[in-house]
Amino acid sequence: MVTSRQLHRLATNPTDYIRFATTGRLPRVKKPSSPLIDLLAQISPRDRLRILGVTVGPQLGYTGSRRFQNAEQALNWVRPRSEMLEGESWPAESWRDKRFSGPLTLTIVLENATSFPEDLAQRYARLM
């Protein structure tokens, strides 16, 4: 199935258009992935907003250190959209430690946060 983003990419990127015209190959859709993305995606958006002062750094699989107001903002930085087209870049991908494979638990994320609701551990016990 062809998405509107793929069509837009063909219309605005001559290299992708030429590849499509000669080979019939559309820009591939890929899903951003990392242990942090996989973990945060399992938490509801409402709860991600309640995890405050999240520092994304080496303990979470990223080089350097960046602080976000909440876990929702951190997720939006590490994964701007749930699906990206090949060749698209986003800031967090260049900071991701490609060798980091986890294990990453909610406990580690909460250790890198300034505050979070106490009931979070009970609600997401499977992620601890």
pLDDT digits (tens, 9 = 90+) for 85-125: 888 888 898 999 999 987 899 999 999 999 999 999 899 99
Domain ranges (residues) in the chain: 1-30, 33-127
Pull the structure tokens for residue 62.
């990223």
Q: What span, in angstroms and rounded, lies between the C-alpha atoms of 104 and 16?
A: 37
Q: How far apart are the first and last CA of the chain?
A: 38
Tell me the per-residue pLDDT of 11-66, one tens digit each, with 9 for 90 and over. Answer: 999 999 999 999 999 998 888 889 999 999 999 999 999 999 999 999 999 999 99
- The one-letter code for the residue type at 73 is Q
Pull the structure tokens for residue 92.
């967090």
How high is the pLDDT of residue 103? 86
Q: Is residue 103 reached through a cis peptide bond, with omega within 30 degrees of 0 on the bond before it?
A: yes
